[in-house]
Homo-oligomer: A and B are copies of this chain.
Amino acid sequence: MYVIMVYDVNVERVTKVLHIGRRYLTWVQNSVMEGPLTHAQYRRLKAEIRKVIDEDEDSVLFYTLRSERDVRRENLGLVKGGPEHIV
């Protein structure tokens, strides 16, 4: 599966979320990471994120697709994630 994670997390906890996310996904923009994961990896990622966020204050949104081929990316302005992430 292909996972896009968008997080809106209080600055006190954002470094933890970033560290967990980076072990599974590639950073593409401020607050956005993405990458291919197995279902088991996706479950572990969510479990780890759940442990560090405050569910009353933070929000983490996951978009999941069957394959990266189902999505196209287009960027306006700064390309923060490096050229390998551009369609």
Contact = CB atoms under 8 A, between A and B. Distances in A.
A80 B61 CA distance: 10
A61 B71 CA distance: 12
Contacts of A8: 29-31, 78, 80
Contacts of A70: 65-66, 70-71
B31 A53 contact: no
A29 B75 CA distance: 19
A72 B78 contact: no
A62 interface: yes
Nearest to A60: B76
Contacts of A72: 63-65
Interface of A: 4, 6, 8, 28-32, 46, 49-50, 53-66, 70-80
